[in-house]
Structures are given as C-alpha cells and as structure tokens.
Chain A
Amino acid sequence: MMRGALRYVRRNPSLAVGVALVAALSLFIIIGHLLVDTEDARPLSVPALRPPSWDYPFGTDRQGRDLFAVMVAGTPLTLRIGFIAGFLGVGLGTVLAFTGAYYRGLIDTIIRGIADIGLTVPGLLVLIIIAVSIKGTLTVNQMAIVVASLAWLYPTRTIRAQVLSLRERGYVEVARLSGMSGPGIIFFELMPNLLPYLAATLVGAVSSAILASIGLEVLGLGPIDAPTLGMTLYWVNFNAAMINGWWWWWTAPTVIILMVFLGLFFLTIGLDEIANPRLRRSV
C-alpha cells in the first residue's frame, strides 16, 4: 500500500507537492489555534510594530494586532471565501453545463451565450461595481457570494465542452435506448465519468475565487474588520509598510498566500493528470 502510494507519487509529483503544501497549511492553522488566542487578531490587543520575537513570532502590526494570531484566524477565513465561492461556482456551472450540453437546443444556446459573453468581461471590474454597490461593509460570507456571482462562468464553459464529447459515447447511447431518463443518464452515466475532471475544476475555481477576493480586499472593498489575508495586505499597503521598513508585516501574509496558490496550483495539475491521462507524457 505504502509502496504503491510512493510509486504513484513518483509518477505524479505535482499531486504530492500540492497535497503537502495544503497539509502544511492545515497543520499551521490547527497548531496555531492551540498556541495563540485569536482574539489577539483584533486591533489594540498587543503592543504595536514589534518585529518578530519569542512572544510574537510573526511580529505585530501598527494597529496592534498580533500577526501570528492574524494568520491563524485569517487563513481559514480566506480559504472559506474561496471554498464557498468555488463550490457555488462549480455547482451552478455543473448544473447549467449538464442541462445545456445534454438537452441542447434553445436552453443550451442561452447558457453558452451568457457564459461566452460573461467571460469576455473583466471579472475583477464587475466584482468591483457589485461590491461598491452594496451598502455598508461586507461580511466574509457576503464577500464569498459576491465572488461566486461570476465564479460559475468558466466552469460552465469547460464542463459543457467535456459533456458534449461524452454524450456521444456508446454507453450513453445504450442507456438512452434502454429507456433511461435524462436526469438518470446525467447522474448515473455522465457525472461519475467526469468526477475527476470536476474535482480539478473545483480546485481551480477555489484558487481563482481566492485570487479575486484578495484583489477586492487589497483595493479596500473587503470585510474591513475581518483579519483575512487580503485585508492584511490592504493594511500593509495603506500604511506603506514596505517603505517604512516593517518587513515582517507583509512577509507573513505573502508567504501564506504563496503557499495557498502554489498548493492549489499543483493540486490542479495533479488532479488533471488523473482526469486526463493523455497528459501523461514524459519529457
């Protein structure tokens, strides 16, 4: 079992790197919650602007947040935005893609048209207009829904293309001729065969949702009082921490965001390898 796993890792190192990075992040969050009081992620809880030390391993920021506590409390929040938006996006995308690609006709034309036109519009800007239009500051969950409002476009298009090729296969034809209903074919014949592909799409969608949410937050449109990674970067920029030489302030969020993106990226590549064996080639 162990040997088999190791052999697989050698063939698909991306998956291993991705899993390792995500596992490291989760460990950091879990152990961090045991070591630090996340209440210290609020402003004015600790002395301001201390460089890293034994008491404050990541240092403290200008408003008196313990950056270690901020990272421990904020990383799950950022991941939560990504996961909610990613799941909503891929979920809606899957439903639309399967309905459109299986039944074809007018409904498919409409779905494809909306997705195609929506994809030519720069997402971040539309999200900005949405976020600016909402009164008051956003909560973390509202933030996730704002990001999800565009997160379904890309999955819809790519999944639809996959279903289109799949529905012409022989076994789908057999199921149809033996009197299986449309939803039955979608759920029991098409969906299982696309599961690995859907998983890869989901990880990709989570990653782009996190990127979009961090983008909104750095621009100052995020949940102002939540210590998410993007909001931390917003305060870094707001206080010109770089020019003032407070290097620890931006180092911690940068390293964690790097781990998030690299982890999700390698996971996507690794899952793609499983979903699409044609990618297996040695160079």
Chain B
Amino acid sequence: MQAAYIARRFGVFLLIVWLAGTLNFFLPRLSGQDPVRTKLLQQAALGGYVQGGIDEMTREYEQRFGLDKPLWRQYLTYLEDVSQLDFNYSIANYPRTVRELIADALPWTIALLGTTTLLSFGIGTLLGALLAWPRAPRWMGWLMPPLWALHAIPFFLLGLILTYLLAFQVPLLPIFGGYSAGVTPELSWSFAWDVFQHALLPALSIILVATGGWALGMRGMMVTTMGEDYVVFAEAKGLKLPTVFLRYCVRNAILPQVTALALALGQILSGAVLVEVIFGYPGIGTLLYQAIRESDHFVIQGIVFTVIVALGFTTFVLDVVYPWLDPRISYRRL
C-alpha cells in the first residue's frame, strides 16, 4: 500500500518535470519562429569579444535544433539535455554555463528565503496563537489590523518603502547588493557581517509581510481548536493554563501550519524574485531579471526548469512525510 502510494506520488513528480521541460521547449516555438535562434544569430551578427564562442555555440545549436531536424527529434534532444540539467551556455556571459550561473545564485536565495520563511513562520504562528487566546495581554488585539494590512502588501513594495526609510533617509543599512562593492567574497567574520547587513532590509520586508499570513492562519485554527470539547475538559479539570495553551491548543492547531510551511519552503526559490530585483540581491531573482533584460533565453529556461523541479520535489517529499506528521491522515486516504 505504502509503496504503491509513494510510487504514484513519484509519478506525479516525474510528470511535473516532464511538463516543465515541454513547456520550455514548445512555448517559445509557438510563435512559429525560434526566438533562441533569432537571438543567437543576432548576437553572432553583432560580434564582440566573445565572438568565437558565440559562433561556435550557434553552430552547435543549429546542428542539434536546426530546422532540418523534425520537431520531435529536436524535442527529444531537448528533453535529454534538460534531464541532465544541461541548459547550454549563457548567451550574455558566454564562456559560463547556465548551470554555473544558477549554482552561484542558489545559495544566496536559499539563505535569504530559508531564514525569512522560518522566522516569519515562528513569529507568526506564536503571534496567531496568542491573538486567539483570551488571556493574552490586551495590547495584542491592536496588532491585528496592522498585520492584516501588511499581509495585503506585495513584498517588494514594502521593500521600496523600507529602503527609503532605513537606508536613504536614515542611512542605517546598505541600500543595494548582497555585499559591499569591492569586497571579495571570503570566509571571514567581516565578510559575513557585511553580507548580514545587506540581507537585513530584504529580509525585513519579507518577514513583515509574511508574518501576517502565518498569524492569520494560526489564529483561525486556534479559534476552532479552542472550541473543542477536550479543551473545555482540560480547563475544567484544572490543568495549568500554559499546559492547556501549549499541549492542548497549539499542538493541535499547528498541523495545517506545518503543511503550509513545507509548501512555503518549496516556494523559496521563486517567492521573492521582485524583492531581489529591488535590492539587487545576487540571487535567482536578480539573475532572472538580468537574463530577461538581455533576452538570455537559456538562462531564463534554466531557472524556470530548476525552480519547477525543486518545487515538485518538495511537494513529493511533503506527500510522503505528511501521514507520518499527522497520524489522522493515512496513506490510504490520499
């Protein structure tokens, strides 16, 4: 039973990978012309210091995806490349491959988004639980409207406002980039401190927005849980209130939050593309933005494929792990 379930979920994952590759292959060709070829030929005609490389790349592209080949053969070639995570060279930064560029950008995005997702989950869940708790301090009630309002604002817009307040008006924090210009990345405390300072503003704008969402979700679940009979019984039995709060209410209300957290962790690669663009943070989002500006199709396709596959994989892991997290759900029912 369990093996069949896991196999089925893995099938869905493979389906998503295939869809991502297919989308990447067919969408650009729908217009009748291959924009990748157009861009390559354009670049080759322009010339420049990477001329030799671009010429060679164009020749190889023609050889593999040329018009003389039938479409299905091109498609199979493409799927084969992509399944080996080979996305060709970057057109704009020629000798570098797309895979290298993505590998350089990934740690930045994962570090920023991983930290902010976990922090906002922790703060938001705790806040939400307290907001629903009748014996929480009165002032907490005042937190609701601002949390709601912040939750409705896109990350990057709050980023703009925060930059103005905390980096421009009061120059507390650096305004742009992942580390100071002229500093070479190295493993040292001073560099780590520099990176930390640069990450603070983007992190703050994500956390402020995301916390509201977690708090709202947790509060809703808490309200439902607190109406359950076993909570009333626990109180009537005279259990200490902190015990009722943590072991009876929070413990049960937190399950959907954990599911949502796993999904949010899957989104970390694509969650804050615009925040990175606004702050010039050297992650996947900024890489994507530059690739779009230079119409570097190979980089765009590589990023889209990587992100979709990463997300599909997280969903797969979540599906397999979830029945173990919440025993009320068995493998059979899914």
Contact = CB atoms under 8 A, between A and B. Distances in A.
Interface of A: 117, 120-122, 124-126, 128-130, 132-135, 211, 214-215, 218-221, 237, 242-243, 245, 247, 250, 254, 257-258, 261-262, 264-266, 269, 281, 283
B30 A117 contact: no
Given A124-B270, A129-B27, A283 B300 contact: no
Given A117-B15, A237-B277, A132 B295 contact: yes
A52 to B, nearest CB: 15
Contacts of B30: 133
Given A128-B300, A129-B304, A243 B176 contact: yes
Interface string B290-334: 001101010011011001100110010000000000000000000
* Leading 9 A-B pairs by shortest Cβ distance: A265-B152, A122-B270, A133-B28, A133-B27, A125-B304, A261-B152, A135-B31, A129-B27, A120-B315
Contacts of B31: 133-135
Contacts, number: 113
15 contacts: A117-B15, A120-B315, A121-B20, A125-B304, A125-B308, A129-B28, A135-B33, A135-B35, A218-B274, A219-B274, A220-B292, A242-B160, A261-B152, A262-B149, A262-B152
B87 interface: no
Contacts of A247: 164, 168
A258 B292 contact: no
A112 to B, nearest CB: 13
B19 A117 contact: yes
B274 A254 contact: no
A15 to B, nearest CB: 14
Contacts of B132: 283
B175 A254 contact: no
**Number of chain B interface residues as a range:** 35 or more
A215 B152 CA distance: 15
Given A219-B277, A242-B164, A283-B132, A132 B153 contact: no
A282 to B, nearest CB: 11
Contacts of A214: 154
Interface in B107-145: 131-132, 141
B12 interface: yes
Contact of A133 (B35, B151, B278): B35
In this complex, the member of A125, A237, A250 whose beta carbon has the largest number of chain B beta carbons within 10 angstroms is A125
Nearest to A117: B16
Contact of B312 (A120, A125, A220, A264): A120
